[in-house]
Amino acid sequence: MAANTLTPVTLCKALADDTRLRLAVLLFRYGELCVCDLVEALQLPQPTVSRHLAQLRSAALVTDRREGQWVHYRLAEKLPGWAIAVLTELMTPASTLYRAELKRGAACCM
């Protein structure tokens, strides 16, 4: 699904899962992150994190970039204004709930 076809329903469904919301909070707060950083911050298995990232990507909320064997994710750059506004409003209360410490530059991708 392209970013220009993102609907409010798609956005809400994508963020309705606790893990996907936590991923969105981390990407909103820190920008581009490697999957290994997200696995460490969420303390979840890599396949679980990757599955949720794939769902966020299919909803056109995140984009990915390969660097060797590592995959880095970030929020999509061309999100509609209303989607950015919704994400911005969600970040303060969600950040309070999710205080995962991010150890940037995990040994896996250095």
pLDDT in tens, 28-84: 888 999 999 999 989 999 999 999 999 999 999 999 999 998 899 999 998 999 999
More confident residue, 3 or 66: 66
Distance, in Å, from the CA atom of 64 to the CA atom of 95, rounded to the nearest integer, reads: 23
Average pLDDT over residues 73-101: 83
For residue 64, the cross-strand partners are 73
- Residue 106 pLDDT more than 80? no
Type of residue found at 12:
C
In the DSSP assignment, the letter for residue 61 is S
Distance, in Å, from the CA atom of 110 to the CA atom of 104, rounded to the nearest integer, reads: 10
Q: What is the mean pLDDT of the chain?
A: 85
In the DSSP assignment, the letter for residue 43 is T
More confident residue, 89 or 103: 89
For residue 66, the cross-strand partners are 71
Distance, in Å, from the CA atom of 5 to the CA atom of 27, rounded to the nearest integer, reads: 21
Overall pTM surpassing 0.75 (yes/no): yes
Structural domains present in the chain: 3-100 (1.10.10.10)
